[in-house]
Amino acid sequence: MKKLIAMCVLVTPLFATAAFAQGASAPAAAEKSGKTAQQEKMAACAKANKGKKGDEYKKAQSECLSGSGPAAAAEPKTQQEKMAACAKANKGKKGDEYKKAQSECLSAKPA
């Protein structure tokens, strides 16, 4: 009985180490690969404003991140972003009126 307990005590840390190592690496890998939408937007704006210095850079970044600058307008929207923007614009409309407005908004070409 003592040998069985001793073997369990010696083998348990080996299994625990593998379990902890596997659990610790999964969140770290997800954290490295997944950027938030804000981080992606900041990276895109920084790339668009590369070469600008000082106040000019700060102003361009601010405009780009707020969505009012030329860099933000040049960035194509995904279908999901278009749908969200159209839904926000057509808020308050009901039924066929909403469907028609959504259809027109989604089919509109970006300026």
> What are 18-55's pLDDT values in tens digits?
556 655 554 554 455 577 888 888 888 888 888 888 99
Tell whether the model's pLDDT for residue 8 goes beyond 90.
no
Instruction: Report the candidate in 30, 72, 32 with the shortest Cα–Cα distance to residue 48.
Output: 72
Q: How far apart are CA 2 and CA 4, in angstroms?
A: 5
Tell whether the model's pLDDT for residue 75 goes beyond 80.
no
Burial class from Cβ neighbours inside 10 Å (0-12, 13-18, 19+) for residue 3 reads exposed
In this prediction the pTM is 0.33
At residue 53, the 3 state secondary structure works out as coil
